């Protein structure tokens, strides 16, 4: 499997990039993700991140218990 990641600028709604030769005669799937501008990343305050998952996740009650497959190493 060949995978590639490339950051490109969109101009007038068109996206263009050169595929590796190995992919020229094959079907490909292209995923497009918007990239945050650098100033947007810096403007996010640390207090917005700390505790943002509170109440959204819960660990199992036996989370700290030894795993069955590792008992011989304990």
pTM for the whole structure: 0.35
**Domain range annotation of the chain:** 21-73
pLDDT of residue 44: 60
CB neighbours of 6 closer than 8 A, spacing ≥ 6?
Answer: 17
- Alpha carbon of residue 33 to chain centroid: 10
> pLDDT tens across 17-43, in order?
888 888 888 888 888 888 766 655 555
What tokens does 24 get? 């020229």
């Amino acid at each position: 499997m060949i995978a590639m990641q490339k950051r490109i600028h969109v101009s007038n709604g068109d996206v263009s990039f050169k595929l590796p030769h190995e992919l020229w005669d094959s079907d490909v799937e292209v995923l497009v993700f918007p990239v945050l501008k650098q100033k947007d990343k810096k403007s996010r305050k640390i207090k917005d991140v700390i505790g943002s998952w509170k109440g959204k996740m819960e660990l199992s009650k036996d989370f700290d218990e030894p795993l069955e497959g590792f008992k011989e190493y304990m």
